[in-house]
Amino acid sequence: MALRIIPLGGLGEVGKNMTVYEHGDDLVVVDAGLAFPRDEHLGVDLVLPDIGYLEGRRVSAVVLTHGHEDHVGGLPYLLRQVDCDQVIATKLTLGLIKSKLDEHGLAAATRLEEAETGRKIQVGSFTLDFVRVAHSIPDCVAVVLETEAGRVVHTGDWKLDHTPVDGLKTDVGRLAELGNEGVDLLLGDSTNAERPGMTGSERLVGEAFRTLIPLRKGRILVVSFASNVHRMQQAIDVAIQVGRKVAIVGRSMRKNLNIARGLGYLDVPEHVLVKPQEAMELPPSQVMILCTGSQGEPMSALTRIAYHDHPAVSVERGDTVIISAKPVPGNELRVHDSINRLAKAGAEVLHQEIAPVHVSGHACSEELRTMLSLLRPRAVMPVHGEYRMLAAHGQLAREAGVPAEAIVIAENGSVVELQPGRTPQIVDRIDAGLTFVDGLGVGDVRDVALRDRRRLSEDGVLIIVTTLASSNGGSTAPPELIARGFGDSDSFLDELRDEAARVLEELAAEDITEIKLLQEHLHDAVGQVVYDRTRRRPMILPVVIEV
């Protein structure tokens, strides 16, 4: 029986948020993440994979490779839509999602199963196995999915890191063993496939902290993703060395610190931690603040600090802010804005463009070559990346000896079929768009609403209201015009009102009283005057009311 593989989700990144594996009646979903909206998704809060394909079906297991939002953040939405027997993940990942499920009131109804490397789990016709990989959050695994169709290795996000902070390296021994046993298909992280060489070890950031922090006398703020437990550990270790107390600022960072600490993934002596208010009362040379906001998110701790709008923390001349992260594409201007504001407040700001305070969590091309050499897969399906990255990963696979016809560059919604002893093929395509979360609504804001928002955002809106006496079809009052976002002057609006009145008179003279026709004529005539005079195209909404 064939195994069907369907990548889903991600903004232009294939299979970034979710991959569906379907073998007969058994469905295993690997990862259930979300994406953060871009400027083009006007007003949208979150972007989920469209899971229409799964709705109403029983999912045997959701397997999570690691605890990042783009791999687990959509889990509550998925669990509300499908019947799911169990969620399988490693200890830290389970810890992180537990609090998420609690918040959504789903904890009681969800069976959680802990994944351990080296212990296989049988899920229907799937045998699942887990291999340790390094990344920018602890406790990450690659997943091996074995069915009678063949053996698939799904890397999740990974890098090689021979000196990870927790000593838990990518298990090259086990990967080589799998290569010897035979891998039919590799689904591999392509994020850095275009980049030459090797990604630096997470430990390099610790070295930068050890170099930079002891030289500074003011407060030190270290800003990173809330989930980057190793980064926090390394910063805290330096704080302890130089006698600084540590305050954690930002809800998600406090939450993650508590979870990671409780499960033994983070080693922080109690006496080191102080509350933010207490930290601000200590001499600046005795303080380190760990906080969120590395992407310039409007309501995040760092942004509020940069805008002098944080209830507890402020920066001043002599302070140093270390932004230990890279802006996700699209967030550059926000991050630059934070840096400028902090610099204006007198702080020195160290960021990845000018200091070695960040490393990527993803494998570069030489690491991908290493993975290909270890696994020697018969076929490769590059995932987790934009098309250009998938193409680069495919090229690396070809150079590693994988035949061109065994390299599958799929899109979200592509159905890739693996059959025993056969090269995998794209055999079908399912609807696989994006589901927008806006406020409380999940999926009710669709492309047409976004198109309208886009139009409104370009040139605003012009509303023409007129009344029509149902008795004789004549208009009973002069038209009213309301403009918003349009750069209107009163005299120009008067002119447009005259034009609208002229159109109505003309139509009345021709005995045209059908509301639809009146609206069309008003729309076209007024729109033309607006365009001729301004070269703008506001959304024009004529309203004709019969009274």
Question: Which residue ranges make up the site for its own copies (CB under 8 A)?
Answer: 12, 38-39, 42-43, 194-196, 329-330, 332-333, 336-337, 339-344, 349, 353-354, 386-388, 391, 438-441, 444-446, 449-450, 452-461, 463, 465, 467, 476-477, 480, 482, 484-489, 533-536, 539, 541, 543, 545-547
Our CB check for its own copies shows the closer of 373 and 467 to be 467
> Which of 50, 70, 189, 438 is labelled catalytic?
189
Could you give the CA distance from residue 423 to residue 379 in angstroms, rounded to a whole number? 7
Our CB check for its own copies shows the closer of 367 and 459 to be 459
Which residues sit opposite 223 in a β-bridge?
A: 291, 323
CB of 136 to its own copies, least distance (A): 20
Q: How near is the Cβ of 509 to its own copies at its closest, in Å?
A: 21
User: What is the nearest approach in angstroms of its own copies to the Cβ of residue 391?
Assistant: 5
Q: Do the beta carbons of residue 21 and residue 3 sit within 8 Å? A: yes
Catalytic residue, candidates 135, 362, 384, 393: 362
Secondary structure, 3-state, 418-459: ECCCCCCEEEEECCCCEEEEECCEECCCCHHHHHHHHHHHHH
- Tokens matching residue 209: 């902290």
* Surface-to-core class of residue 476, CB atoms within 10 Å of its CB (0-12 exposed, 13-18 middle, 19+ buried): middle
Least Å distance, CB 483 to its own copies, is 9
362: annotated active-site residue = yes
* DSSP single-letter state for residue 159: B
**How far is Cα 153 from Cα 481, in angstroms, rounded to an integer?**
62
CB of 358 to its own copies, least distance (A): 15
Range 326-329 contact pairs with CB under 8 angstroms and sequence separation of 24 or more? 326/352, 326/358, 326/360, 327/294, 327/295, 327/296, 328/36, 328/295
CB closer to its own copies, 24 vs 356: 356
CB neighbours (10 Å) of residue 378?
Answer: 20
CA 395 to CA 335: how far, in whole Å? Answer: 33
Nearer to its own copies among residue 195 and residue 384 (C-beta): 195
Between 8 and 347, CB nearer to its own copies: 347
Q: Which two tokens stand for residue 407?
A: 């390299």
Q: How far is the CB of 333 from its own copies (least distance, A)?
A: 5
User: With DSSP H G I counted as helix, E B as strand and the rest as coil, what are the percentages for the chain, rounded to 5?
Assistant: 35, 25, 40
Q: Which residue has the tokens 């070809």?
A: 398
CB atoms within 10 A of CB 448: 8
For 187-245, the DSSP string reads EEE-TBTTS-S-PPPTHHHHHHHHHHGGG--S-EEEE--TT-HHHHHHHHHHHHHTT-E
Residue 425 CA: distances (Å) to CA of 184, 394, 420: 13, 15, 12
Work out how close the CB of 329 gets to its own copies at its nearest, in angstroms, rounded to a whole number: 5
User: Alpha-carbon distance 312 to 254, whole Å?
Assistant: 15
Q: 266 Cβ partners below 8 Å, 6+ apart?
A: 229, 232, 233, 236, 257, 260
Smallest separation (angstroms) from its own copies to the CB of 527:
13
Q: Report the alpha-carbon distance of residue 272 to residue 284 in Å, rounded.
A: 15
189 is catalytic: yes
Closest by Cα among 116, 322, 301, 78 to 219: 322
Neighbouring CB atoms inside 10 A of 172's CB total: 17
State which residue, 180 or 470, has the beta carbon closest to its own copies.
470
| Phi-psi region at 217: left, alpha or beta (left = phi > 0; alpha = psi -120 to 50) | alpha
The nearest distance, CB 421 to its own copies, in angstroms, is 29
Q: Which is nearer to its own copies, 203 or 334 (CB)?
A: 334
Active site residues: 189, 362
